[in-house]
């Protein structure tokens, strides 16, 4: 990790303390995100947010590629750090995608979202 006190550059992303309330993580294009790379990001986020409880805005480039195993672990616990943030907003940018997309932590929440969307406008 390289950087100044407000910005840390990792192999997979830049991690920036924008304010005491917000850390921004900007994933790098053309880098395949793996567990080790996400661990570097988690450590950078915790270093910048020491003594704070900042929210996190994670911004992915349209072509973000990642190993599936990054989805199935608690990265703070897996990398031996205590989570110091309350909320995470993940922006997956894609100009090609036309469908509504949402990310959920629980299957029941995903199902409820789909049911609500069908009630708003039935599929043709």
pLDDT in tens, 11-51: 999 999 999 999 999 999 999 999 899 889 998 998 898 88
Six-digit token pair at 3? 């950087």
* Alpha helices, H only, the chain: 35-48, 75-78, 107-120
Q: What is the pLDDT of residue 121?
A: 74
| pLDDT tens per residue across span 50-91 | 888 899 999 988 888 888 877 776 646 554 566 667 788 888
Q: What is the pLDDT of residue 65?
A: 85
Q: What is the pLDDT of residue 122?
A: 62
d(CA 58, CA 124): 34
């Amino acid at each position: 990790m390289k950087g100044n006190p407000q910005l840390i550059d990792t192999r997979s992303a830049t991690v920036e303390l924008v304010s005491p309330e917000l850390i921004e993580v900007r994933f790098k294009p053309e880098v395949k995100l793996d567990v080790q790379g996400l661990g570097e990001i988690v450590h950078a986020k915790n270093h910048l947010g020491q003594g704070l409880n900042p929210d996190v805005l994670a911004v992915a480039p349209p072509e973000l590629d990642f190993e599936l195993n990054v989805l199935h672990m608690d990265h703070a616990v897996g990398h031996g750090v205590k989570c110091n943030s309350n909320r995470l907003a993940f922006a997956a940018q894609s100009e090609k995608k036309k469908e509504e997309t949402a990310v959920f932590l629980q299957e029941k929440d995903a199902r409820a979202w789909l049911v609500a969307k069908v009630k708003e406008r039935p599929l043709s």
